[in-house]
Amino acid sequence: MKVREAAVAGSFYPRDEAQLLKQLKSFFKGIGSEEKGECVVAPHAGYIYSGKVAAFSFNALAKADSFVVLSPNHTGLGEAISISDADFWETPLGKTAVDVKLREGVLKNLGIDADDVAHIQEHSIEVQLPFIQFLFPMAKILPVTLMTHELNELEKLGNVLYEACKGKSVGVIASSDFSHFIPEQDARERDTEAIKLIEKIDFGGFHSIVLERNLSICGFAPIVTAMVFCKKMGLKRGKLLRYDTSASTTRDRENVVGYAAIKFE
């Protein structure tokens, strides 16, 4: 039994189980009810910066047997598309099983092998896991980390995921932060322009604007893949649930990171 142990507990989120549960509960306090959907975009920064925004994403996520978690590759390790070969992923809240059957189907149709190198120190899936464990303790996951930005490869992955998940109870989480380390006003303007394309589920337009304008949306490949999946599902639009920046925590408005919670419906 291979377990992917927590790599960023104690830095991105609390290492202590009781503290982590207390923090997660605080994030959901005051959030109103939201119609549930199968696919969301959620941020992946340290919880003190983006945890509240992430709660808006998960508050809008429907219960499912498994969740595909799509993340960017921050480490530069591993393959262009890296699907974890671990049997379980662990956090202070316990172990969550990987959906082995779903993994086998996706790997076969992509024509690739499982690869855990990209996942060893990657935080952008791990920080989503306590939210899943908190709200959906029986759910399994399929962790997918992306280093490719090629549109044809992202479209293929989105289509393969759709076919593999068809008829099953599966949700999709695209893990992404938005603008990085620029003045807050600039971040809000750039992110708003990009989010408008996400709301239209215009994955081609979104992909183009990120590359043409060199937008620092780290998880844009996961978002593109999720939008392809949503198009195949027949979903019509994205809905921005919450936007904030790191300035709400740091008070530094000259050097911010943007965070968005988006639901597809």
Tokens of 226: 């999720």
d(CA 89, CA 95): 6
Query: Which residue's structure tokens are 């960017």?
Result: 72
The whole-angstrom separation of Cα 252 and Cα 203 is 32
In order of their start, the domains of the chain are: 3-264 (3.40.830.10)
CA distance 253 to 261: 20
Residue that the structure tokens 């620029």 belong to:
182
Distance CA 76, CA 109 (A): 24
Token pair of 150, please?
């090629």
Contacts of 143 (CB under 8 A, 6+ apart): 4, 69, 71, 83, 84, 86, 89, 98, 119, 125
| DSSP assignments along 90-140, one per residue | EETTEEEEB-HHHHHHHHHHHT-----GGGSS-HHHHTTHHHHHHH-TT-E
Q: What is the pLDDT along the chain (265 residues), one digit of tens a residue?
A: 999 999 999 999 999 999 999 999 999 999 999 999 999 999 999 999 999 999 999 999 999 999 999 999 999 999 999 999 999 999 999 999 999 999 999 999 999 999 999 999 999 999 999 999 999 999 999 999 999 999 999 999 999 999 999 999 999 999 999 999 999 999 999 999 999 999 999 999 999 999 999 999 999 999 999 999 999 999 999 999 999 999 999 999 999 999 999 999 9
pTM above 0.85, yes or no: yes
